[in-house]
Structure 1
Amino acid sequence: MYAQAYLDYLYFFHAERDYFECHEVLETEWKKRAADHRHSYWVTLIQLAVALYHERRGNKKGAHILLNRLLKRIPLEHVQLEHLGINTSKLLIDLHIRLKNLDEPFSDYDLPLTDSHLIKLCQVRAGDRWKSQSPLKNPNIIHKHILRHQKPKIEEEE
């Protein structure tokens, strides 16, 4: 019923709190299609993960820009996001609040999922990691985009 990439996204979003990986799995799914057949709702979910990634890293400006974009995009993607089991009204309210509180310390965000079957699928896969806490001290998650590009250099030097 749901694309495997979306299920992977939800796993990384709610269990690993690896927002960079959320971006990666959906971007790959999005790019599989011809440009004129790409689903724009994937971009919305990618931008949500990237906004949280920026916010958690302390990049308030990047988070602010993306949250504002999302507040404009989500109403346009309302039907598609609802079909993905997301309560878009709650999501919009949550993102408005998050935008206003960007100066506060980072806190995890759980997508307002409405489909009990989808939630159960996610919970089974994640086990005790479902809705875990963000790894705020793990640089491999927090700075993944930087470290990913440095890894080939480090391996080459070794």
Structure 2
Amino acid sequence: MYPKEYIQFLAHFHGDRDYFECHEILEEYWKENDIKNKNSIWVGLILLAVSTYHHRRDNFTGAKRTLEKAITILKKESYCLIKLGLDPQQLPSILNERLSIITNHQPYSSFNLPIVDPALLRQGRSYCEENGFVWGADSDLRNRPLIDRHILRDRTSVINERKESLKLRKGNV
């Protein structure tokens, strides 16, 4: 019923709190299924994960900017929230509360999305269990490889893609 990537996103969001991985998983899914739509529900969820990643690293400017964009998209796409097993009334309240926390430069704390579909919740918890993390656990703020994942990753493929894209653009000029 739900895309496996969405279940993985939820499991990482609520389990190991790997927001970078949340972004990676849903970005790939969005690119394969809805890339022309910059206001896709998937983009809203990607931005939510990015904002949370920034907030945990005390990047309040980046966290606020991306959360504001996420809120705008998720508000416009609220009818999709029901299809994705999320409560369309609770989510905006949670996100506005997070925005207030970020705006006031309060520290990050783990939070959960309001999942209303018991089957989706079971699937997310099962994925966590199968992959060795616990649904609903707080983020380990001492885990630097998790907190600073964007710094520590291998960017070779990203750099190569940019070079190829640049070559194509220059060739088409």
TM-score for the superposition, normalised by structure 2:
0.81
How far off its partner does 1:71 sit?
2.2
Question: Contact conserved, 1:87 with 1:114, CA < 8 A, in 2?
Answer: yes
Show the 5 A alignment for 1:2-151.
2-33=2-33, 35-36=35-36, 40-102=40-102, 103-127=105-129, 129-149=134-154
1:2 and 1:132 map into 2 onto residues whose CA distance is 23
Q: Which runs of 5+ in 2 are unaligned?
A: 158-173
| % identical aligned pairs | 38
Over 3 Å counting, the alpha-carbon distance change for 1:113 and 1:44 in structure 2 is same
2:70 and 2:33 map into 1 onto residues whose CA distance is 22
2:49 and 2:37 map into 1 onto residues whose CA distance is 22
How far off its partner does 1:133 sit?
1.1
For 2:140, the aligned partner's letter is: P
For 1:59, the aligned partner's letter is: N
Question: Contact conserved, 1:74 with 1:88, CA < 8 A, in 2?
Answer: no
1:23-71 deviations in Å (ceiling 9; x for gaps): 0001111111364478811101100100000000010000111121122
2:69 and 2:39 map into 1 onto residues whose CA distance is 17
For 1:78, the aligned partner's letter is: S
1:89-109 deviations in Å (ceiling 9; x for gaps): 211111111111122221001
2:74 and 2:141 map into 1 onto residues whose CA distance is 28
Question: Contact conserved, 2:44 with 2:71, CA < 8 A, in 1?
Answer: no
1:56 and 1:66 map into 2 onto residues whose CA distance is 13
- Larger helix fraction of residues: 1
1:104 and 1:37 map into 2 onto residues whose CA distance is 33
TM-score for the superposition, normalised by structure 1:
0.88
Q: Which runs of 5+ in 1 are unaligned?
A: 153-158
In the comparison of the two structures, how many residue pairs are matched? Answer: 152
The structure number with the bigger radius of gyration is 2
Helix, strand or coil at the partner of 1:136: coil
For 2:54, the aligned partner's letter is: H
Question: Contact conserved, 1:20 with 1:53, CA < 8 A, in 2?
Answer: yes
How far off its partner does 1:13 sit?
0.6
Over 3 Å counting, the alpha-carbon distance change for 1:69 and 1:126 in structure 2 is same
Over 3 Å counting, the alpha-carbon distance change for 1:150 and 1:35 in structure 2 is closer
Question: Contact conserved, 1:51 with 1:62, CA < 8 A, in 2?
Answer: yes
